[in-house]
Amino acid sequence: MTQQIKAAFFDIDGTLTSFKTHEVPQSTKDAIEALKAKDIKVFIATGRSPTQMGVVTEHLGITFDGYMTMTGQYCFDSNGFLFKHDIDKRDLRIFFDYLAAHPDVGANFAEEDYVYFNQINETIRIQYAGLGATAPSLVVDDVNRVFDHPTYQFSAFVGEDEERRIVDMLPNCRSVRWHPMFCDFIPADGGKPAGIKAFLKLYGFSREECIAFGDGGNDADMLAYAGIGVAMGNGGELAKAAADYITADVDDDGILKALQHFHVL
């Protein structure tokens, strides 16, 4: 018999929503409502920014108890709870200089209430087109904003080799990747486990009392940290290697099947 689960954390892209249909399967919606009926708290755990949660939750048609955004760097709920951890400005200066030396590289920067790009190139257009109805708007602004506004996450639209070169330049950041076209940079001590810890502390739950679902590289440490970590069948190898269980694809009722497998539902 599985230990009692009191909280469930869900990544969005590739976990709640399908990359094929850009929709949430009805079985997933029904499963989350069934969790809520059992007084199990449900949380978003995403790399997206807080400003994108309105369009996402409206499209999902699901009300969550809290939102872990920007890969755990900014967590909040509707009752005033707030946890945040921004990026060291020294690392932002280094990345700013990198962009100046590599004018073809596209990047975006996520603040508390604003997300912007240094430019919109073809790589960025292709990637955002793949998000369907939950895709946020594309705004270009002056990257010098990073020195006057707390920035919680930034992304570079580069391959894995270039990602490693950038990481080596940044003493206070690490990178996580959930898409082949880009990677996210967060504080070295940040990540989705930090967001889980913030919500578990709020409710007085233990890590053993939570289950987490994800599919990407930025979900791997969350799946390893949670009492039960579930990787989607359509997920990447990093997520699968970190998980306690690999369920079916998002399009094949993967979330419902995992909750039934562990007798949560």
Domain residue ranges of the chain, discontinuous segments joined by +? 7-83+190-262, 89-187
What confidence score (pLDDT) does residue 205 get? 97
∠ CA 17-216-197, rounded to 5°: 95
| Cα 193 from Cα 125, distance rounded (Å) | 30
| Sequence-separated (6 or more) residues with CB below 8 Å from residue 168 | none
Distance of alpha carbon 147 from alpha carbon 51, whole angstroms: 20
pLDDT tops 60 at residue 134: no
Give the least confident one: 41-55, 164-178, 198-212.
41-55
89-187 placed in CATH 3.40.80.10 = no
Tens digits of per-residue pLDDT, 168-186? 999 999 998 877 888 999 9
- Among residues 240, 94, 222, 214, the alpha carbon closest in space to that of 156 is found at 94
> Is residue 200 scored above 70 in pLDDT?
yes
pLDDT of the residue at 136:
63
Q: What is the pLDDT of residue 49?
A: 87
Give the per-residue pLDDT at 3: 66
Average pLDDT over residues 142-147: 90
Alpha carbon 230 to its chain's center: 15
Nearest-angstrom CA–CA distance, 73 and 186: 8
pLDDT of 181: 83
At residue 257, does pLDDT exceed 60?
Answer: yes
The pLDDT of residue 1 is 42
Looking at domain 7-83+190-262, does it have CATH number 3.30.56.10? no
pLDDT, one tens digit per residue, over 34-44 is 999 999 999 99
Q: What is the mean pLDDT of residues 127-156?
A: 81
Q: How far apart, in Å, are the Cα atoms of 145 and each of 87, 115, 151, 152, 156? A: 13, 11, 9, 13, 17
Q: Residue 74 to residues 15, 51, 112, 230: CA-CA distances in angstroms?
A: 20, 11, 8, 23
Residue 212 has pLDDT above 60, yes or no: yes
